[in-house]
Amino acid sequence: MQPTELIERVAAGDRRALARAITHVEADNAAGREVLAGLYARTGRAQTIGITGSAGVGKSTLVAALAREERRRGRTVGIVAVDPSSPFSHGAILGDRIRMQDLTADGGVFMRSMASRGNLGGLAETASGVVDVMDAAGYDVVIVETVGAGQDEVEVATATQTTVLVTTPAGGDDVQSMKAGLMEIAQVMVVNKADIAGAETAAMQLRALLAIAPARAWEPPILMTVARNNEGLDALVDKIDAHQDYLRTSGHADEERRALAEAQIVSLARAALHRQALETAQGEGILAALVDEVAARRQDPRAAAGVLLEAVRKHWGRG
């Protein structure tokens, strides 16, 4: 299917075309870029929501519960899981898939999982492309699940408007050890697994952390959920809606939109630069030569990085 036809079909809500378009975007090929450029004018209608937090806190379970609540409210839902082990992917274990059956059988829900590593394009770059395609396809809500583990994952948050940070009262993932960077990007905080002991304490710790953080125009609310039993989702969707209203209507709306746009541009440029550096380095054998020099301590790694950047600059000059 040619990109122009793909664009038309995606815009018309064709699920197979959508799946194909996403495959191109993930591959970061010429067709993918053409599809994104062609669809961009249709984006901006969806509510985009990021669900982030450590592994095991219940993000996938919460995404499913959130999707159910959004469907109950009559909205269509696109789900992007940046996690190959997610139950939204074909590789998921059977038990997970059975628990998600109501969603997989629902024509108003589109799920897609993407590998978090391996492609040269940055994760944030790919995720924001996939979000844009789902938005253009007409889904009312697009939910992105990411493990908040590293810089890449934090940057994925620039792909969505409302970021929900999920924690639990369970040991190991205590609030104290939470990354500062994650606190800053979250607009809604959730203590999931509120059915186990310590949920109140976890919420109090979050409240204390927020109290010492610099004041923001939007104060992130702290909610409790039991995702496994679909509990607390009504309040969560209300808060997400409230944040979306705030983005559209508050006196800070313009400022917030600009901040998000800036974060997105910088993150996409960083990803593109990263990809370009790797492609140049590997494609022209520059990296291997530099590695020899640095490993033998004939050149220092900073100078070597400079040589690599110079090669990228020349490469760009040509392209």
DSSP secondary structure of 88-150: TSTTS-HHHHHHTHHHHT-TTEEEEE--SSS-SS-HHHHHHHHHHHHHHTT-SEEEEEEE--S
Residue 243 interacting entry, from ligand GDP, Mg ion, none, C-beta within 5 to 8 Å by type:
none
Of residues 98, 196, 204, 295, which one binds ligand GDP by CB under 6 A?
A: 196
Closest among 231, 228, 209, 234 to 220, alpha carbons compared = 209
- Closer CB to Mg ion, residue 96 or residue 241? 96
3-state secondary structure 154-197: HHHHHHCCEEEEEECCCCCCCHHHCCHHHHHHCCEEEECCCCCC
- Mask: binding to ligand GDP, 52-71, rule CB under 6 A, as x and -? ---xxxxxxx----------
Q: How far is the CB of 224 from ligand GDP (least distance, A)?
A: 9
223 scored as a contact of ligand GDP (CB under 6 A): no
Q: How far apart are CA 240 and CA 63, in angstroms?
A: 13
Round the CA-based radius of gyration of the chain to a whole number and report it. 21
Stretch that binds ligand GDP, among 51-59, 106-114, 180-188, 290-298 (CB under 6 A): 51-59
Query: CB neighbours of 50 closer than 8 A, spacing ≥ 6?
Result: 143, 144, 146, 156, 157, 159, 160, 162, 163, 164
Q: How far is the CB of 60 from Mg ion (least distance, A)?
A: 3
Residue 265 interacting entry, from ligand GDP, Mg ion, none, C-beta within 5 to 8 Å by type:
none
195 scored as a contact of ligand GDP (CB under 6 A): yes
According to DSSP, the residues that pair with 49 across neighbouring strands are 143, 162
CB closest to Mg ion, residue no: 60
169 scored as a contact of ligand GDP (CB under 6 A): no
Residue 44 interacting entry, from ligand GDP, Mg ion, none, C-beta within 5 to 8 Å by type:
none
CB closest to ligand GDP, residue no: 58
Query: CB neighbours of 114 closer than 8 A, spacing ≥ 6?
Result: 26, 80, 81, 82, 84, 126, 127, 130
98 scored as a contact of ligand GDP (CB under 6 A): no
Residue 55 interacting entry, from Mg ion, ligand GDP, none, C-beta within 5 to 8 Å by type:
ligand GDP
User: How many positions of this chain bind ligand GDP (CB under 6 A)?
Assistant: 14
Of residues 52, 162, 192, 280, which one binds ligand GDP by CB under 6 A?
A: 192
Stretch that binds ligand GDP, among 71-79, 134-142, 190-198, 256-264 (CB under 6 A): 190-198
Q: How far apart are CA 226 and CA 303, in angstroms?
A: 52
Residues contributing to the site for Mg ion (CB under 5 A): 59-60, 86
Write out the residues near ligand GDP by the rule CB under 6 A: 55-61, 192-193, 195-196, 226-228
